[in-house]
Amino acid sequence: MPSFLLPPTLALWLQRLLSAIFLGGQVLTHIISRPIHRRNTLEQMAAVGPESLLIAMVTAVFVAMVFTIQVAREFITFGATTAIGGVLALTLSRELAPVLTAVVIAGRVGSAFAAEIGTMRVTEQIDALQMLKSDPVDYLVIPRVIACAMMLPLLSVISLITGMAGGWLVANSIYGIATSVFSIQPATF
């Protein structure tokens, strides 16, 4: 085997990377230059948003509860109980709510999309779209990308609100911190 050839795993990885970059470029140019299938986009938005709401909220509540348990114990020791709510809000809004919501949505919705498109490939539905002079990227990929881009910020805001409620519940029930103290002082770091 000549030494200038790439190992098979690296060549496959590079091929997949280039394919993903090419598909991303196609999606961006098609969104700008072509009409969008609105009905399909609305259906995908329903699949991404309301169907993922429960798992995003449950994840946010439990992460905020655990974070509050860890932070409240230390802050009470230092006499900074008024900062617990602010620190939780700051952490949830900057990092935890958006990242965890994105990870949950990527896992749940990404696997569903992959299974659906994989089934369409096996049953030759994508080939049928091409035979009907319909671009599969316009019909299959772009509505899913738009749905994820539009629903993820909304789900992140709902996760933030749910997480704050979970943090307040733990602070109030376990540590006896009143609601007025929990929400009195925003964290300014």
Summarised one tens digit per residue, pLDDT across range 129-178 is: 888 888 888 888 899 999 999 999 999 999 999 999 999 999 999 888 88
Our separate counts of H helices and E strands in the chain read 9, 0
pLDDT at 2: 53
pLDDT at 80: 83
Q: Calculate the CA dihedral of residues 138, 139, 141, 145 and round it to 10 degrees.
A: 90
Place of tokens 């399909």: 40
pLDDT at 185: 55
Residues in the chain predicted with pLDDT less than 50, given as ranges, are 1, 187
Q: Where are the chain's structural domains?
A: 7-36, 38-182
- C-alpha span between 84 and 182 (Å, rounded): 6
Look up the pTM and report it. 0.80
The separation between CA 103 and the C-alpha centre of its own chain, rounded to angstroms, equals: 5
Q: What is the CA radius of gyration of the chain?
A: 23
pLDDT at 97: 93
